Copies of this chain bind each other. A is one copy, B any other.
Amino acid sequence: MWFTEKWTPHIKFSVEVKKHLYSEKTKFQQMDFYDSYELGRFFTLDGIMMANQKDEFIYHEMIIHTPMSVHPHVKNVLVIGGGDGGSVRELTKYPKIESIDLVEIDESVVKLCQVYLPEMTVGFKDSRVHLFFEDGLLFVKNTNKLYDLIIVDSTDPVGPGEGLFSREFYQNCYRVLTEEGILINQHESPYFAKERKEMQRAHKKIKDLFPIATVYQAFIPTYPSGHWLFGFASKKWHPTKDFKGSLSHQLKIETKYYNDEVHLGAFGIPNYVKKALNETE
């Protein structure tokens, strides 16, 4: 049995499956868990692979350790989406963080990942972590708490993730960030047309709001094209000029992907990607 994802109408990526472990239509989306020969266990939302045991470390290290090594005093963190727990797990490795609020629209994601991908959800046991099962768009609209770091760990901008790519959402993120705050978001990909368009739309909205707005990249082989971007938007701290070496290294946090040279290299964006980002101006 093969799980197949259409990366475009004309490109397919297929993974041989040992067992279809679980399937559920939640209130918000179709959710499936599989076990596979090459990637270990993985789960999909509406047929799109979200995370697998072989390479989820790449996405989650890059989305967390990069901003944590730039902003020198992160105390309050907001994670939007990220119900699989990978981002929270990496955040809980930092003793200086005082509070982590996770806002996941679909409680089933958390509950089922705790069953089928327990190594990703270990951070939820940390007493600094607070779970909110509600719409991230409404949460940032209504909260008056201020955050040093917001992580938008969303699905693609279709279905429940759509609002997390809207101008109103980014405006509210800006509002609830401190004066030194940083916003990181999963920023799609430059290679295939659909993700490139979403990359451009997100970039345009974010750079209209933040004085520093750039992207960084990682090799994530199981996402379409394997060339994946994160957005780095910041009110004060610059991702490379204010980088003094990785905090994870100083704290002896074990990382399998992230290191000093990876941090700096991730901001070395190919010309064709720069061009696509500039076309939004």
Contacts and interface: CB of A to CB of B under 8 A. Distances in A.
Given A262-B268, A268-B261, A270-B259, A14 B12 contact: yes
A192 B38 CA distance: 9
Nearest to A264: B268
Nearest to A217: B219
A14 to B, nearest CB: 4
A225 B10 CA distance: 18
A8 interface: yes
A206 B16 CA distance: 35
Size class of the contact patch on chain A: 35 or more
A261 B256 contact: no
Contact of A11 (B38, B191, B192): B38
A262 B270 contact: yes
Contact of A36 (B10, B257, B261, B262): B10
A221, A226, A267, A270 interface centre (most CB from chain B within 10 Å): A270
A278 interface: no
Nearest to A11: B38
A269 interface: yes
Given A11-B14, A11-B38, A191 B268 contact: no
Interface string A255-281: 111110111111111111000000000
A10 B221 CA distance: 14
Contact of A13 (B13, B16, B58): B13
Interface in A1-21: 2, 8-16
Nearest to A256: B272
A197 interface: no
Contacts of A167: none
Contacts of A58: 270
A225 B271 CA distance: 21
Given A259-B270, A261-B267, A270-B257, A225 B217 contact: no
A9 to B, nearest CB: 8
A238 to B, nearest CB: 14
A216 to B, nearest CB: 10
Contacts of A267: 261, 265
Contacts of A236: none
Given A219-B225, A256-B272, A262-B269, 14 more contacts: A11-B13, A38-B192, A221-B225, A225-B226, A226-B227, A256-B270, A256-B271, A257-B270, A257-B272, A258-B271, A259-B268, A262-B271, A263-B268, A268-B268
7 contacts: A10-B37, A12-B13, A14-B14, A191-B221, A221-B225, A262-B270, A262-B271
